[in-house]
Amino acid sequence: MDWNWTDHTVRHKPPGMLSKLNCYCRRGLSFLFTFSFLGSLMTASIVMDVYDRVKAVFRPSPPRPFAELERTRIKTRTEAEKKVVNDIDYYARLAGLRALPHDVVTDDGFVLQLFRVTDPNVQETSSRYPVLLVHGLLQSAGAFCVNENDSLAFQLCKSGYDVWLGNNRCGFNYKHVEYAYNDPRMWNWDVVDMGTRDIPAFVDYILHHTGHSKLGLVGHSQGTTQAFLVLSKFYTPDLGNKISGFCALAPAVYAGPLVDRPMFKFIRYIPPFLYRLFFGIHAFIPSMLTLRRAIPKSALTYCSYAMFHFLFHWSDTRWDRALEGRMFQFSPVYVSAESMRWWLGRGGFASRRCIFTDDTVSWFDARCPPMAFWIAQKDSLVDGVKLMERIKTSEPDVVVMRQVVVPEYEHLDVLWAADANERVNNGVKEVLWATAYDRSRFQCPTGCEDV
């Protein structure tokens, strides 16, 4: 049975003169379409945001649950803490830590960036249990570092873990050992490649660098998709022997009702050749990255939130609004148009409503590591509750360590809510330690003494 997406094996030849000319022509056409598409979305987003603000004047919303906390924090923040930069290490230093980059090369030649979060006051790291965090779609490793001291990456490090943050291929820094930006082969990959190539490359590098044989894995949204794919018996299940436990935040396996919105349906209904004509064989709407470099940071924050709210119906109700500048400094990033087609295109995730092509057989075998789930009940993008039901009824080899459904949370709240440290982070720390191998070799993380 074929478990790969049917069009996943399409490969491009090295570009010759004619193919380069063809590529540039298609990119010109794609630019006109995608720039118009982006402009239309941005206009609609701003109009709806203005409408919502005017409506709130006449029909006030319920009080924000952390309004008092926001006011208190604003009074105590220094100018350095208010600064907005695209620099993970800067925010790590504010938390008394460091985040230094490592280059990792995949087996298909992509150069990935991997950040190691460390405590400069701790010289010996070999006794710290290694943990890899993998971000979501259009995000980057910075998503785990923007909630001040409550950021998941910083909390794990301060409690005693050896924390590594993986940036998927391309991201802000598209690099390949052979291909350049204008080579179509640079962008001929999708979510399956990110799962079966990027995650194993991260895992192998960390284990080689630390000298350990296993690590803990944490994923958010698409990061969980990559992990579920690579750990399934249809791709690279032996990787499960190198992972002691997997924590899935807002797990993206089943689609929620949001994928049926008109702008997403449009992408689903057009055939592949038209999709590639409109969106090109390159980065998905690269003008988004051009725009983010051209406009002031405050305008970027406003436009980014308006767009996210319009497209996904996410809100900042439970966030510290003063931190939104940080949150949107690390997204969007470069992803391939093919990876977005995997999610939204004809025959892809939005059509199947599941990352796997068959829901009638088990996906995992005994090589699968123990899992834990944190599900946002107000998440309309993915259906985590359906996944939990599926695990209970159809996956006898999956050991579930913990399942948490947070009624008030939306998709990004598992990372950015003001109370995420209590609702999510502490539980992640405990599960990672409960599933750790050969614990006598490692120091017990703070707060896990009774685990």
Which one of 140, 244, 411, 413 is the catalytic residue?
411
Mean pLDDT computed over every residue of the chain: 91
Amino acid present at 38: L
Q: Which of 221, 232, 331, 339 is catalytic?
A: 221
pLDDT at 448 over 80: yes
Residues 6 or more apart whose Cβ sits within 8 Å of residue 51: none
Give the number of residues written for the chain. 451
pLDDT in tens, 17-36: 666 666 667 677 777 888 88
What are the backbone dihedrals phi and psi of residue 239, each rounded to the nearest 5 degrees, phi first? Answer: -60, -25
The helix, strand and coil proportions of the chain, stated in percent and rounded to the nearest 5, come to 50, 15, 40
Give the chain's domains with CATH numbers: 17-437 (3.40.50.1820)
Report d(CA 204, CA 206) in Å as an integer: 6
Q: pLDDT exceeding 70 applies to what percent of the chain?
A: 94
Task: Tell me the three state secondary structure of residue 233.
Answer: coil
- CB-count burial class (<10 Å; 0-12, 13-18, 19+) for 109: middle
Task: Please confirm, yes or no, whether 309 is among the known catalytic residues.
Answer: no
Mean pLDDT along residues 290-316: 87
Instruction: Give the pLDDT mean for 276-288.
Output: 84
Q: Could you give the 3-state DSSP secondary structure of residue 245?
A: strand
Retrieve residue 124's tokens: 């010996």
- Per-residue pLDDT reduced to its tens digit, 74-95: 999 999 999 999 999 999 999 9
Tally helices (H) and strands (E) across the chain.
19, 8
Q: Which of 82, 102, 54 is nearest to 320 (CA)?
A: 82
Choose the catalytic residue: 108, 183, 193, 379. Answer: 379
Known active-site residue 159: no
- pLDDT attached to residue 211: 95
411 is catalytic: yes
pLDDT digits (tens, 9 = 90+) for 113-167: 999 999 998 877 789 999 999 999 999 999 999 999 999 999 999 999 999 999 9
- pTM (predicted TM-score): 0.93
Let me know: does 305 contact 42? Beta carbons within 8 Å: no
Choose among 419, 20, 296, 297: nearest CA to 183. 20
CA 339, CA 267: separation in Å to the nearest integer? 13
Residue 7 reports pLDDT greater than 50: no
